[in-house]
Amino acid sequence: MAIQLDLENFLQGSIALTFIIISFIVGINLLIKYKEHGQKQLLFAGLTWIFLVSPWFNTGFNFLYVIITGRSMDDNFYILLGYSFVPIALTFCLTLFTNYILSQRRKIIITTSVIQGIIYEILLFYFVFTDLSLVATKIDLFNDELSLPFLIYVLVSLITVLIFGVLFGIDSYRSKNLEMKLKGEFILLAWPSFFIGALFDAGVFSLPPLPLIFIRLLLISSAVEFYFSFFLPNW
């Protein structure tokens, strides 16, 4: 029997898919700008944002899958789709920001990120195919709850991204150049918006479906703010 979506589920899934689409547009535009200008920071910025939204891939693409087929994704694939790209996002993010801050420690920061990412991936894939409950539990059609070890990893990754993002924003905001200062303001808007949205959406704080919709709207705003931190809008 085909799954029938109620209004809340429809809004949850469609807004998550909208967040993914907008984030892909932002990321791809940054990659196009990299091709035009040849600046590596634009390459890493684009890849960072594309993979940073990967924890929403399962919700957004499962919504699309339900609409097309009337069925939900396999739980194992759902969890892998949402959490297997987290270390990649973290590594790209650290590669981007260590171009500007803590550059003298860049090699050790990135190497550490890669090593712990490999360990994470091995454990994730092993437990997904042996005992999924040790990774996460599917709560409903578009939400899941991570087990404590994997939740801690995702939270530490989020906090790391926030710290580096804010430090980068502060560094840009202190610039005497007005354009850089404005970009710094957008950075300082983007990362806290993303962090707050991701924190609530990750299930750290239990929320009913309706407030989660507003949280995902906050996440959408963070994607736009991130793009403006590299290319200011035409005022």
Residue 186 lies in a domain: yes
pLDDT attached to residue 107: 92
Rg (CA), the chain: 18
Q: What is the CATH number of the domain that holds 187?
A: 1.20.1070
Residue 235 lies in a domain: no
Q: Which residue has the higher pLDDT, 83 or 97?
A: 83
Give the list of residues 6+ apart from residue 73 with CB closer than 8 angstroms, or none. Answer: 58, 61, 62, 65, 81
Residue 138 lies in a domain: yes
Q: Which residue has the higher pLDDT, 2 or 90?
A: 90
Residue 156 lies in a domain: yes
Residue 218 lies in a domain: yes
Phi-psi region of 203 (alpha: psi -120 to 50; beta: other; left: phi over 0): left
**How much is the average pLDDT of 142-169?**
88
Least confident of 71-75, 116-120, 141-145: 141-145
How many separate domains does the chain show? Answer: 1
pLDDT attached to residue 205: 60
| pLDDT above 70 (res 123) | yes
Residue-range definition of the domain harbouring residue 78: 7-228
Measured from the Cβ of residue 211, the count of other Cβ atoms closer than 10 Å reads 11
pLDDT attached to residue 89: 94
Given pLDDT bands bounded at 50, 70 and 90, which one contains residue 112?
A: very high
- 45-94 pLDDT, tens digit per residue, is 889 999 999 999 999 999 999 999 989 999 999 999 999 999 999 999 99
Measured from the Cβ of residue 144, the count of other Cβ atoms closer than 10 Å reads 20
Residue 1 lies in a domain: no
Question: Cα 33–34–38 angle (5° rounding)?
Answer: 125
Residue 27 lies in a domain: yes
30 closest CA partner among 48, 45, 40, 50: 45
pTM of the model: 0.87
